[in-house]
Amino acid sequence: MMDIRGPLELPARREDIALHTLDGLTLVGELALPPVHEPVATLVTLHPLPTAGGFMDSHILRKAAARLPALADIAVLRFNTRGTSSPRGTSEGSFDGGHAERFDVAAAMEFVRERGLPHPWLVGWSFGTELALKYGRDHDIDGAILLSPPLHRATEEEVAAWAGGPRKLVALIPELDDYLRPEEAAKRFASVPDIKLIDVERGRHLWVGESQTRRVLTEIVAAVNPDALPLATEWDFTTTHP
């Protein structure tokens, strides 16, 4: 048995993919599917700010794709928004501050629809939470999970529009966040009384360290496929199961 930690990649069916936007761009990405079973749910991940180093391999998203297909039968789609580079490649276009990125979100959701991937959830981290809040309601999703939402770009009206709708909203708020801490988050999200706000003690914006990684992945699975909890912490590489 091997401890599941750090960059360890568990078995999955992985596929390099291309997304095509309505404004004519090609975005690069990856789809990771469970190694044996069909997925029970799908994560469409939205990475942190590309001008500050965010991309599809930002560590929480990479670890979600490395672990959750095997541990929780969840499909994980990652991609670089326009103008963003990673070892997978560079997406066409240029960063637009969260405006034209609405087409990037739409392209990912169209891919999910075409593939028939079940129960999609948006998972945004930092800048990615802005895209989820601004554009998630345009799409057929079960809900959105916000990791370290800064609320810099999403307007009060865009946040309030999530209230009372069919889509669930979950937000993980780090106690020691650089931008939005629990007390302020409770005020800023007060217009969405049915949001699930999760205050993470000693959490930080970048979720550094294995304990914070496991907490984030556990909360994601709790929202999307709670039957898969608790997540295994060891893996036997002689089999496809923990």
Please give the domain boundaries of the chain with CATH numbers for all domains: 2-235 (3.40.50.1820)
| C-alpha dihedral sign at 181, 186, 191, 196 | positive
**For residue range 115-174, what is the model confidence (pLDDT) as tens digits?**
999 999 999 999 999 999 999 999 999 999 999 999 999 999 999 999 999 999 999 999
**For residue range 54-95, what is the model confidence (pLDDT) as tens digits?**
999 999 999 999 999 999 999 999 999 999 999 999 999 999
Give the three-state DSSP class for 208.
coil
**For residue range 1-37, what is the model confidence (pLDDT) as tens digits?**
899 999 999 999 999 999 999 999 999 999 999 999 9
Give the three-state DSSP class for 227.
helix
Alpha-carbon Rg of the chain, whole angstroms?
17
Q: Is 81 in contact with 47 (CB distance < 8 Å)?
A: yes
Q: What is the pTM of this model?
A: 0.97
As a residue count, the chain comes to 242
Cβ neighbors of 234 (< 8 A, separation 6 or more) are 1, 2, 3, 4, 242
